[in-house]
Amino acid sequence: MDYVTVRELREKSGEIWQRVEAGEEFVVTRNGKPFALLVHTEPQAVEDRLRALRLSRMAEVVRAIQADAQASGASLLTDEEIQAEIDAARRERRARPAAYPPAATVPPPKAAEPAPKRHARRR
């Protein structure tokens, strides 16, 4: 796997795309830090590759959560202690005043106002 900067990708895109098509893989860097991956794929394999990438990311998140639980001691909680934490959080949430008034006390909407004019975006 080779590294290529965003600037190099812009300046030598034809060469880099040919190398990707030949099977090379690149890590694109921006300000010296990894930013994206360039890998060749076939149209019929896109969904499978994306699914594998997403599963890999999910596994990383699960490992991080497990490490945090280990470090904080949460991984040692029993099922009963976990349920007690959940029940306490629910009681606390019910005791707080609602952020929004109940639907019955919301005043009816005003008469429709004309929609604001939309301006074209500059590019």
Is 58 a domain residue? yes
Q: What is the pLDDT of residues 112-123, one digit of tens each?
A: 666 666 655 555
- Residue 14: CATH number of its domain: 3.40.1620.10
Whether residue 61 is predicted with pLDDT greater than 90 in this model: the reply is: yes
Q: Clarify whether residues 33 and 50 are in a common domain.
A: no
Task: Tell me if 16 sits within 8 A of 38, measured CB to CB.
Answer: yes
Residue 108: inside a domain? no
Within-domain flag for 86: yes
Q: What is the pLDDT of residues 18-46, one digit of tens each?
A: 999 999 999 999 999 999 999 999 999 99
**Helix/strand/coil for 30:** strand
| Side-chain-facing half-sphere of 77: CA atoms under 13 Å | 16
DSSP 78-89: -HHHHHHHHHHH
Whole-prediction pTM value? 0.53
Beta strand ranges found along 2-88 (DSSP E) = 2-5, 26-30, 33-38
Query: Do residues 56 and 78 share a domain?
Result: yes
In a domain, 113, yes or no: no
Is residue 77 situated within a structural domain?
A: yes
Which of the four pLDDT bands, split at 50, 70 and 90, describes residue 1?
confident
Q: Is residue 79 part of a domain?
A: yes
